[in-house]
Amino acid sequence: MKPAATISFSVLVRDQVVVAVSRSVEETVSSFFSHVKGQAPADLLSGHTIGNCEVYRLLEPVKLPERLRGGTLDGERLQACTDPNNRERIYPAESLRVLGTNLQSRQIHVVIEASTHDSEKAIETLGREHGDLFQCLKITLGKLRSWTLADVENNLRGGNFYGNGEDLPPGLDTIQSRLALPRTYKAETARDNKDLEIAQTYDPTLFGHIFKTTSAEPRVTDNREFATFYHVLRCFQQDAHSMSFNNSSLFKASNFTVYFVQPPFFSQGRSIPFHYHQEMPWGYPIFLNTPVAPDTWRKFTPKSNFMVSSDAYCIPFVISEVISDKSQSVRYRMLVQAIATARAGRFLLKNGAQGKFFVVAIYLRKHMVAERYIVMQTGEGDGEGTEDLSQGDAKDFDLASKDDAVEFVREMYNLATELRVLAKDLDVKKKGGLTAVKAAASKVISLYSKVHPLKTAGGTPMEAIQEDEDESESEEDSEFEDEDDLGVFEAEDIQDILRQMNYEIEFVAFGSPVRLTTALGI
């Protein structure tokens, strides 16, 4: 008996991942579905059966791009795969003969769509019960899992991305000016104050540039601020040049936070209205769609290298990323997240609040240059109003330069002062808003941070389609190699499962394994 013919072709699974298969024409669609489910990443078809999925054959197959990497199809190819006029439903009991025999492995001939009923119901609930906050947290990307400067600009909703040297609108210019204010202390503080004496003696010129005496209410509230000034000059500056050429992002991040972030935001005690967190997921998701599929939403829970947030309201005030990829997508992802946060923070303010909510985003480049952004909604509209994003005048701080380093420390302490005022303007009646959004979004399909390479039926690796690399990446960034990776534990769904099992990920230094520890107090 002559064996049945074998056909090879590619399959698009849930508009996200391409799987290459080689199957017998006699195989049923149901059996074929089971095979594809085993090949695709677990999150795509987990919990789905052929009964709650739809399988289509394309009337005109779609040719794959030359290079397949993790992510989504480009708009034109995806549109061709989802065009109702270009596909026909096929059913579980049918054999793969319905596909014909003139198939090619580098062409998509079959599309599998999974039911998203629960996700769609959750989106409806979010719109109905949490409409204002949900609107604030919506972000449109040109391509899922791809973060670009165009995404930042397009999500400003009429706002502006202000570069260095440009005049800033009211609100943004006020915050920028206040971050540059001298750190003031009372003259009597100098008496018997060893920290102040050592700092002032070590570099009198820089000390006089950063600190001023006052008879009014001082901005310096902890004498350890003088010690921080001294330590940055005496300790950090000694190693700054070597740090710049170290390839580990974790090494850079640890030194950056120890010298510049922890003193103003962590070492102030528990009475302050904000707290410092490192490598911790946010307390709420943002919601992503694309112009190609504007009614299809995915949730994404950000995780910053470090952040300063109000635990009571779950809202970040400061977010930061250390360069961790060859392109600039991490920077743009941070800024897109800051835009959504600025909108949500504005909603959380009391009615009639005098101040404006703002978010500070800090991006640490390879050679220890800190970019400081301010994000604030300056328009008067609601969630659809105007947001303005500013990098501000000359706010690239070269931390290897002692002048820039102590000016950056001054900004961070001034920022802590401003956040104390901002936190008082949050509306206690809206305290549980973001937590409620997170609970309501539990059934919304997630955008996972990583999609791992797939294997074809023949065992040859075929990577899922990934975002395009940024062609405008700088030479500085392109030389950087990321050494720090949580691997499979980076995935949001894996972290959710571990938290449900009372485990937490203990992120340790590069070169050591990731450890799982039982969460305390559970």
In a domain, 465, yes or no: no
Dihedral angle computed from the Cα positions of residues 208, 214, 218 and 220, in that order, rounded to the nearest 10 degrees: 20
- Model confidence at 490: pLDDT above 60: no
Percent of the chain with pLDDT over 70: 77
Confidence of residue 121 (pLDDT cuts 50, 70, 90): confident
pLDDT at 144: 84
Contact 450, 482 (CB under 8 A): no
Same domain, 130 and 91: no
Confidence of residue 481 (pLDDT cuts 50, 70, 90): very low
- Model confidence at 25: pLDDT above 80: yes
d(CA 31, CA 22): 13
In a domain, 448, yes or no: no
Instruction: Average the pLDDT over 214-240 and give the result.
Output: 91
Same domain, 102 and 154: no
89, 115, 141 - which closes a domain:
115
Burial per residue of 26-43, b for 16 or more beta-carbon CB atoms within 10 angstroms, e otherwise: ebbbeebbebbbebbbeb
Contact 91, 29 (CB under 8 A): yes
Same domain, 96 and 203: no
- Model confidence at 518: pLDDT above 60: no
- Angular region, 440: left φ>0, alpha ψ -120 to 50, beta rest: alpha
Same domain, 268 and 218: yes
Instruction: Average the pLDDT over 66-89 and give the result.
Output: 80
Confidence of residue 474 (pLDDT cuts 50, 70, 90): very low
Instruction: Average the pLDDT over 104-122 and give the result.
Output: 84
Contact 314, 282 (CB under 8 A): yes
62, 97, 115 - which closes a domain:
115
DSSP assignment, residue 296?
-
Of 57-71, 204-218, 250-264, 460-474, the range with the lowest mean pLDDT is 460-474
In a domain, 464, yes or no: no
- Evaluated on CA atoms 90, 91, 92, 97, the torsion sign reads negative
Instruction: Average the pLDDT over 259-268 and give the result.
Output: 84
Tokens 């005049």 label which residue?
Answer: 167
Of 99-103, 450-454, 514-518, the range with the lowest mean pLDDT is 450-454
Confidence of residue 370 (pLDDT cuts 50, 70, 90): very high
* pLDDT winner (highest mean) among 75-79, 101-105, 342-346, 382-386: 342-346
- Model confidence at 292: pLDDT above 70: yes
Tell me which residue range forms the domain holding 504.
Answer: 485-522
Contact 490, 500 (CB under 8 A): no
d(CA 16, CA 446): 12
Instruction: Show the tokens assigned to 220.
Output: 């310096």
Q: How far is CA 170 from CA 355, 378, 379, 421, 473, in A?
A: 11, 8, 10, 18, 32
Same domain, 269 and 170: yes
- The closest alpha carbon to 472, from 148, 69, 249, belongs to 148
Q: How far is CA 305 from CA 36, 369, 449, in A?
A: 36, 16, 15
Same domain, 424 and 519: no
pLDDT at 517: 39
pLDDT digits (tens, 9 = 90+) for 306-319: 999 998 999 999 99
- Model confidence at 234: pLDDT above 70: yes
Same domain, 276 and 357: yes
d(CA 9, CA 104): 5
Q: What is the CATH number of the domain that holds 72?
A: 3.10.20.90
pLDDT at 68: 64
Same domain, 367 and 419: yes
pLDDT at 69: 61
Confidence of residue 455 (pLDDT cuts 50, 70, 90): very low
Confidence of residue 254 (pLDDT cuts 50, 70, 90): confident
- Model confidence at 1: pLDDT above 70: no
This prediction has a pTM of 0.67
In a domain, 402, yes or no: yes
Instruction: Average the pLDDT over 251-269 and give the result.
Output: 85
pLDDT at 268: 62
In a domain, 99, yes or no: yes
In a domain, 476, yes or no: no
Contact 181, 213 (CB under 8 A): no
Same domain, 406 and 501: no
Number of domains into which the chain is organized: 3
55, 85, 115 - which closes a domain:
115
Which long-range CB contacts under 8 A does 116-119 form with residues at least 24 apart? Answer: 116/296, 116/445, 118/443, 119/297, 119/443, 119/444, 119/445
Average pLDDT, the chain: 80
Confidence of residue 399 (pLDDT cuts 50, 70, 90): very high
Of 46-55, 95-104, 202-211, 411-420, the range with the lowest mean pLDDT is 46-55
In a domain, 514, yes or no: yes
In a domain, 462, yes or no: no
- Model confidence at 44: pLDDT above 80: no
Same domain, 62 and 192: no
Of 79-93, 375-389, 472-486, the range with the lowest mean pLDDT is 472-486
Same domain, 269 and 391: yes
Of 14-18, 126-130, 158-162, 456-460, the range with the lowest mean pLDDT is 456-460
Same domain, 181 and 89: no
pLDDT at 460: 31
- Model confidence at 45: pLDDT above 90: no
